[in-house]
Amino acid sequence: NTSTSRTDSIQCPCGHIQYVFAGTTWMQVLVSLIQVEGDNSRLEDVATFDRTPWLELHHQKVLEAQSPRTITTHLPFRLMPRRLREGAAKVIYVTRNPKDVLVSFFHFFAILKAKPSDVPSKFEDVLQSFLEGQSSYGEWSEHVRGWLNSGYKNFLHVTYEEMSKDLAAVIKRICTFLDKSLTEEQVQGVMKHSSFESMRHNPLTNYSKMEELYDLSKGDFIRKGKVGDWKNHFTVAQSERFDVAYRERMEGLHLDLTWDL
Ligand code: A3P
């Protein structure tokens, strides 16, 4: 069904190797909770990829989903299906400051069981590959620029840092965007079940049921959930190198990145 009257929402974190650790899972949980008015009992047995299947991974689920469909993707704007590029959906685009994205990926890599042998594991090498734009969803600033400059009409840009600072305000913005009217109590329900602690202990969101893919004895997927953890990983020299590269790439983008709270 490609009817334009549908109110699908696509949420797409910035990208990628897999520099995508911008809060995808958090947004999947938020949107699905908003759709059930904060009543988590209606979602208790439903994994995130069943709530909001991935466009690039779960084709059958995407096709079979009931309207309003909620679909997740990491794809850059230029690779979106034509009907979507033309505005057939509502898009929630999530970004996070790229230093924290990089750190989150670095730790994720440690718990990932099957890794390509040529993907770097030392922080310095991961940083270098990020700066070189080696990633399957494209270079980070290109991905962000592609979406933010797309001129897409039904578009809501949300940052991980805004979600961390004032989640209630973000939930209300998403409700307005999706034409959902929630009571204060229902907003509290969404907040409770999308909190770091509840997602960390929920087997549907913490990947603990995906033992074939992740070795959680080496770390957690819902790991730290902080803004500014990059400061615990970057040396001063690495941070300066990053800033120089990104100052140039971000030129004209008007993206006000939050590095710490
Ligand atoms: P950290 O590794 O910095 O802790 P994604 O889902 O896009 O892969 O992003 C994963 C990142 O989102 C991880 O960051 C994870 O801890 C964080 N995250 C997931 N749920 C969260 C929540 N409810 N509150 C704060 N951070 C959350």
Q: How many residues in the chain?
A: 261
Q: Using CA atoms, how far apart are residues 37 and 166, in angstroms rounded to an integer?
A: 19
Query: Is there a cis peptide before residue 98, judged by omega within 30 degrees of 0?
Result: no
pLDDT, one tens digit per residue, over 140-158 is 899 999 999 999 999 999 9
Q: Helices (H) and strands (E) in the chain — how many of each?
A: 12, 4
Q: Using CA atoms, how far apart are residues 70 and 76, in angstroms rounded to an integer?
A: 17
pLDDT of residue 11: 47
Q: Using CA atoms, how far apart are residues 189 and 244, in angstroms rounded to an integer?
A: 43
pLDDT of residue 235: 98
pLDDT, one tens digit per residue, over 232-250 is 999 999 999 999 999 999 9
Is residue 74 within 8 A of residue 13, CB to CB? The reply is: yes
Residues in the chain with pLDDT values less than 50: 1-18
- State which ligand 1 atom lies nearest to the alpha carbon of 222: 16
Q: Domains of the chain, with CATH numbers?
A: 9-249 (3.40.50.300)
- State which ligand 1 atom lies nearest to the alpha carbon of 26: 20
Please pick, among 16, 58, 59, 74, the residue that the annotation labels catalytic.
74
**Strand 70-72's sheet: what is its strand order?**
70-72, 9-13, 90-95, 155-159
pLDDT of residue 138: 80
Pairing of strands 90-95, 70-72: unpaired
103: helix, coil or strand? Answer: helix
pLDDT of residue 20: 64
Is residue 48 within 8 A of residue 23, CB to CB? The reply is: no
Please give the distance, rounded to the nearest whole angstrom, from the Cα atom of residue 21 to the centre of ligand 1.
7
pLDDT of residue 9: 47
What is the token pair recorded at 2? 């490609």
Tokens 């794809």 sit on residue: 75
Please give the distance, rounded to the nearest whole angstrom, from the Cα atom of residue 16 to the centre of ligand 1.
14
pLDDT of residue 4: 27
Residue 98: enclosing H or E segment and its boundaries? helix 98-111
Q: Residue of the nearest CA to atom 2 in ligand 1?
A: 104
pLDDT of residue 229: 97
Cα angle, residue 90 at apex, residues 88 and 93 outer, rounded to 5°: 125
pLDDT of residue 204: 86
224: Cβ below 6 Å to ligand 1? yes
Tokens 């997927």 sit on residue: 221
